[in-house]
Amino acid sequence: MREKSKKLYERAVKLMPGGVNSPVRAFRGVGGEPVFMARGSGARLTDVDGNEYLDYVMSWGPLILGHARPAVVEAIARAAEKGTSFGASTEAEVELAAEICRAYPSIERVRLVNSGTEATMSALRVARAWTGREKILKFEGCYHGHADSLLVKAGSGVATLGLPDSPGVPRALAELTVTIPFNDLKTLQETFRLHRKQLAAAIVEPVVGNSGCIPPQAGFLDRLRELTAEQGTVLIFDEVMTGFRVAYGGAQERYRFRPDMTTLGKIIGGGLPVGAYGGSAKLMDQVAPAGPVYQAGTLSGNPLAVAAGLMTLELLRQSGTYEKLEALGARLEAGLVEAARAASAPITISRVGSMFTLFFSAKPVTDYAAAKRADATRFGKFFRALLDRGVYFPPSQFEAAFISTAHTEADIEQTIRAAAEAFRHLAD
Residues 324-361: pLDDT tens digits? 999 999 999 999 999 999 999 999 999 999 999 999 99
pLDDT digits (tens, 9 = 90+) for 9-38: 999 999 999 999 998 899 998 999 999 999
pLDDT top residue among 137 and 175: 137
Nearest to 242, CA basis, from 101, 97, 351, 122: 351
CA 248, 251, 257, 262 torsion: positive or negative? negative
| CA pair distance 338, 317, nearest whole angstrom | 33
DSSP codes, 279-303: E-HHHHTTBTTTSSB----TTTT-H
- Which amino acids are annotated catalytic? 143, 238, 266
| CA pair distance 14, 160, nearest whole angstrom | 40
Identity of residue 157: G
In which region does residue 165 sit, left (phi positive, over 0), alpha (psi from -120 to 50) or beta (all else)? Answer: alpha
Q: Mean pLDDT over all residues of the chain? A: 94
Q: What is the pTM of this model?
A: 0.95
Nearest to 239, CA basis, from 104, 351, 94: 104
Q: Mean pLDDT, to the nearest integer, of 111-131?
A: 97
What are the structural domains of the chain? 3-68+319-427 (3.90.1150.10), 70-316 (3.40.640.10)
Q: Mean pLDDT, to the nearest integer, of 287-304?
A: 96
pLDDT of residue 389: 98
303 burial via Cβ count (<10 Å: 0-12, 13-18, 19+): buried
